[in-house]
A and B are shown apart, each in its own frame.
Chain A
Amino acid sequence: MLETIEIARPLRGGKPLGAYLFRYGAVITVIGVVVFFSIVNEHFLTYNNLKDILKAISVTTFLALGVTFSLVVDGFDVSVGSTTSLATIAAASALVLHRQELFVTLLVPLLCGVAVGLFNAFLVVKVKLPDLLATLAVMYIVNGIQLTYTKGYTIYEGMALDNGAATGRFIPSFLFIGQGELLGIPVAVILMLLIVLLAHLFLERTTIGRHMYMVGGNPEAANLFGIPVNRYRVLAYVLSGLLAAVGGIVLTSRIGTGQVSAGAPLLMDAVAAAYIGYALFGEKKPSVIGTLLGSILIGVLLNGLTMMNVPYFAQDIVKGSILVLALAFSFLRRDKKA
Chain B
Amino acid sequence: MMLELGGIGQDFGAGPVLHNVSFTVRKGEVHALLGMNGAGKSTLLHIAAGVFSPKEGNVVIDGKPVVFKSPADAAAHGVVFLTQEVDRGLVPQLSVHENLTVALLKKEKAVLFPKKANRLRARQLLAEYGLELDVDKPVRLLSLYEKQMLSLIRAVTNEAKYLLLDEPTASFDPREAERFYATVRKLREQGIGIVFVSHKLHEVMALSDRITVLRGGSAVLEEEASKVTLENIVEKMTNGESAVIRKERKDKAFDEVQFAVNGLRLHRDAKPVSLRIGKGEIVTVFGLLGSGKTSLAETLFGLRRPYQAQVKGTTRRIGSSLQAVKAGLAFIPEERGRQGIWKKEDIRTHLALSFQGWISKRKETDYSRNLISSFAIRPESPEYKVGRLSGGNQQKVAIAKWFAQGRELALFDEPMKGIDVAAKETIFQMIESLAEQGTSVLYLTAEPDEALRISDRIVILSGGEIVEEREAHELTLEELLLAADKEVEFVGND
Which chain A residues have a beta carbon within 8 Å of chain B's beta carbons?
1-9, 11-12, 204-207, 210, 213-214, 217-218, 220-221, 223-228, 283-285
| CB contact under 8 A between A1 and B393, given known A206-B359, A214-B345, A221-B340 | no
Report the nearest B residue to A284, measured CB to CB.
B344
Task: Please tell me if the beta carbons of A2 and B43 are within 8 angstroms of each other in the complex.
Answer: yes
Report the separation of the CA atoms of residues A210 and B342 in the bound assembly, to the nearest whole angstrom.
Answer: 12
Task: Please tell me if the beta carbons of A220 and B339 are within 8 angstroms of each other in the complex.
Answer: yes
Give 16 A-B contacts (CB < 8 Å), ordered by A residue. A1-B17, A1-B38, A2-B17, A2-B43, A3-B420, A4-B419, A12-B381, A210-B359, A213-B345, A214-B349, A214-B353, A218-B338, A218-B342, A218-B343, A221-B338, A224-B321
Which chain B residues have a beta carbon within 8 Å of chain A's beta carbons?
12-14, 17, 37-40, 42-43, 301, 303, 321-322, 324-326, 331, 333, 338-345, 349, 353-359, 378-381, 384, 388, 390-393, 401, 418-423
Residue of A11, A206, A207, A221 touching B379 (CB-CB under 8 A): A11
Task: Please tell me if the beta carbons of B378 and A6 are within 8 angstroms of each other in the complex.
Answer: yes
Contacts of A285 in B (CB 8 A): 344
Report the separation of the CA atoms of residues A218 and B350 in the bound assembly, to the nearest whole angstrom.
Answer: 12
Contacts of B392 in A (CB 8 A): 4, 6
Task: Please tell me if the beta carbons of B322 and A1 are within 8 angstroms of each other in the complex.
Answer: no
- Nearest Cβ distance between residue A315 and chain B, in whole angstroms? 35
Report the separation of the CA atoms of residues A283 and B357 in the bound assembly, to the nearest whole angstrom.
Answer: 24
Report the separation of the CA atoms of residues A285 and B354 in the bound assembly, to the nearest whole angstrom.
Answer: 21
Task: Give the number of A-B contacts (CB < 8 Å).
Answer: 101
Task: Please tell me if the beta carbons of B381 and A11 are within 8 angstroms of each other in the complex.
Answer: yes
Additional A-B contact list (16), CB under 8 Å, known A6-B393, A213-B345: A1-B42, A4-B392, A4-B419, A5-B12, A5-B420, A6-B378, A7-B390, A11-B379, A206-B357, A214-B345, A220-B338, A224-B321, A225-B321, A225-B353, A225-B401, A226-B322
Task: Please tell me if the beta carbons of B333 and A224 are within 8 angstroms of each other in the complex.
Answer: yes
Residue of B39, B324, B353, B420 touching A4 (CB-CB under 8 A): B420
Contacts of B355 in A (CB 8 A): 207
Contacts of A204 in B (CB 8 A): 359
Contacts of B339 in A (CB 8 A): 218, 220-221, 224
- Nearest Cβ distance between residue A335 and chain B, in whole angstroms? 16
Contacts of B324 in A (CB 8 A): 226
Task: Please tell me if the beta carbons of A6 and B423 are within 8 angstroms of each other in the complex.
Answer: yes
Task: Please tell me if the beta carbons of A217 and B14 are within 8 angstroms of each other in the complex.
Answer: no
Task: Please tell me if the beta carbons of A5 and B358 are within 8 angstroms of each other in the complex.
Answer: no
Task: Please tell me if the beta carbons of A223 and B358 are within 8 angstroms of each other in the complex.
Answer: no
Task: Please tell me if the beta carbons of B358 and A206 are within 8 angstroms of each other in the complex.
Answer: yes
Contacts of B388 in A (CB 8 A): 9
Report the separation of the CA atoms of residues A227 and B354 in the bound assembly, to the nearest whole angstrom.
Answer: 9
Pairs of residues from A and B, 10 with the lowest C-beta to C-beta distance, nearest first: A226-B325, A1-B38, A6-B390, A217-B342, A3-B420, A218-B342, A4-B391, A226-B322, A205-B359, A11-B381
Task: Please tell me if the beta carbons of B381 and A221 are within 8 angstroms of each other in the complex.
Answer: no
Task: Please tell me if the beta carbons of B340 and A224 are within 8 angstroms of each other in the complex.
Answer: yes
Contacts of B379 in A (CB 8 A): 8-9, 11
Contacts of A227 in B (CB 8 A): 322
Report the separation of the CA atoms of residues A9 and B387 in the bound assembly, to the nearest whole angstrom.
Answer: 13
Task: Please tell me if the beta carbons of A6 and B420 are within 8 angstroms of each other in the complex.
Answer: yes
Q: Which of A9, A213, A220, A226 has the largest count of B CB atoms less than 10 A from its CB?
A: A226
- Nearest Cβ distance between residue B299 and chain A, in whole angstroms? 14
Report the separation of the CA atoms of residues A214 and B356 in the bound assembly, to the nearest whole angstrom.
Answer: 14
Contacts of A11 in B (CB 8 A): 379-381, 384
Residue of A7, A205, A213, A220 touching B358 (CB-CB under 8 A): A205
Report the separation of the CA atoms of residues A1 and B13 in the bound assembly, to the nearest whole angstrom.
Answer: 13
Report the separation of the CA atoms of residues A221 and B339 in the bound assembly, to the nearest whole angstrom.
Answer: 4
- Nearest Cβ distance between residue B336 and chain A, in whole angstroms? 9
Report the nearest A residue to B301, measured CB to CB.
A224
Task: Please tell me if the beta carbons of B390 and A4 are within 8 angstroms of each other in the complex.
Answer: yes
Residue of A2, A9, A12, A284 touching B12 (CB-CB under 8 A): A2
Contacts of B384 in A (CB 8 A): 11
Task: Please tell me if the beta carbons of A3 and B12 are within 8 angstroms of each other in the complex.
Answer: yes
Task: Please tell me if the beta carbons of B419 and A221 are within 8 angstroms of each other in the complex.
Answer: no
Contacts of A221 in B (CB 8 A): 338-342
Report the separation of the CA atoms of residues A96 and B324 in the bound assembly, to the nearest whole angstrom.
Answer: 53
Contacts of A8 in B (CB 8 A): 378-379
Contacts of A7 in B (CB 8 A): 390
Contacts of A214 in B (CB 8 A): 342, 345, 349, 353
- Nearest Cβ distance between residue A102 and chain B, in whole angstroms? 32
| CB contact under 8 A between A6 and B422, given known A11-B379, A224-B340, A228-B322 | yes
Task: Please tell me if the beta carbons of B359 and A207 are within 8 angstroms of each other in the complex.
Answer: yes
Report the separation of the CA atoms of residues A7 and B378 in the bound assembly, to the nearest whole angstrom.
Answer: 9
Report the separation of the CA atoms of residues A206 and B419 in the bound assembly, to the nearest whole angstrom.
Answer: 34
Contacts of B391 in A (CB 8 A): 4
Contacts of B353 in A (CB 8 A): 210, 214, 225
- Nearest Cβ distance between residue A199 and chain B, in whole angstroms? 15
Report the nearest A residue to B353, measured CB to CB.
A225
Report the nearest B residue to A226, measured CB to CB.
B325
